[in-house]
Amino acid sequence: MAAAPAPAQPKGATAVLVLADGAVIWGQGFGAEGVAVGEVCFNTAMTGYQEVISDPSYAGQIITFTFPHIGNVGSNIDDIESPNPHALGCVVREAITPAASFRSTRNFDEWMKAWGRIGISGVDTRALTKRIRLGGAPNGVIAHNKVGKFDLRRLRLQAAGWPGLEGMDLASVISATQNYGWDEGLWSMHKGYTANHENSGGPHVVAIDYGMKRNILRNLVAAGARVTVVPARTSFDEIMALAPDGVFLSNGPGDPAATGQYAVPVINALLEADMPIFGICLGHQLLGLAVGARTVKMQQGHRGANHPVKRLVDGRVEITSMNHGFTVDTETLPPTARATHVSLFDGSLAGLELTDKPAFSVQYHPEASPGPQDSHYLFEKFVAQLSPFKAA
């Protein structure tokens, strides 16, 4: 069946979003000029757009922000989660306004342009979000050209021809390329981010970087750990040579089953050695795969800063930050793994722990910068568990 004809290009349109089914959405471009193809998702957070776009877990994705006013506090050098933004671009409702924050050092439009990220404004983001909720996250192409010249046929072919995130390993593409130490703690209004030199005698955590967020590292340091970050493909022997007291499995993008091809054997060896493990997001999914569970692609995923999660041990509800398009299938967990948290949106697995090994993980992001902070205790829980292993 032939695709429906594209709506006529409105006067002044300098950007377009073309979906794999042929749908064409016009708007005004900002940020960098160019073309990018990826998965179109949505994020419901009202704050933290700079953190979202710089989160490595968004590699290969175009973000639709449901909150209409994006860019209104500009950008700064502190509120980023990685050295480079990883989202391909973003879709917003209202045009970018001048920055209104004493912390801003650059207009959001200029920040996007500097990092080569494409933006489109003037879009009915409610309608696009509803489309994603009903039909799933589609593949799409975002394009910006200041004179408004586009080859729609070519853009449609690009969107339809992109293979999608299933089966795609992106962790090793964006991971660190060498080991490095991290000693920066949490941000404060008066000092910003400062190094913490008081952890020299604390437990040593080796953090495997599958797409690490900086605020995860800062929370590990704040909890008292000494931290060494290693690339995604670091071997078991290389990790053990660093004499860790515990190992952290980071968040990251792509299909966990694809990343698991090289990550799961390492995690299994760590479990066999009774190494304490804590995983977040992709790290949670990889731990699930390591014990024999299965991961599946979600229709729309969970992305936002207002996701309620129930802690099963006591019924406490935590408001959490989430960003994932895959989930661990609860029905495939082995008897040695039990659910610890569940999403109150759809009942999907949000946390697990092993009954025979010192390992646990959560699907959400407890570091949650800029918020909420309901789950910061998990970092303290992990680091506190390492002291007996350090003594041993």
Residues designated as active site: 281, 365, 367
Average of pLDDT values for 293-311?
96
pLDDT at position 388 over 90: no
Query: Which residues, in sequence order, are bridge partners of residue 181?
Result: 228
Q: What share of the chain is helix, strand, coil (3-state, %, to 5)?
A: 25, 30, 45
Alpha-carbon gap, residue 365 to 376, rounded angstroms = 9
What are the pLDDT digits (tens) for 320-361?
999 999 999 999 999 999 999 999 999 999 999 999 999 999
What are the pLDDT digits (tens) for 137-172?
999 999 999 999 999 999 999 999 999 999 999 999
pLDDT at position 5 over 80: no
Answering whether pTM is above 0.85, one says yes
Domains of the chain from N-terminus onward: 15-161 (3.50.30.20), 171-391 (3.40.50.880)
Return phi, psi of residue 30, to 5°.
-145, 170
Of the candidates 299, 291, 310, 292, the one whose C-alpha atom is nearest the C-alpha of residue 363 is 310
Strands 139-144 and 34-43: antiparallel
CB 386 within 8 A of CB 301: no
Q: Is the dihedral of CA 294, 295, 296, 298 positive or negative?
A: positive
Alpha-carbon gap, residue 240 to 247, rounded angstroms = 10
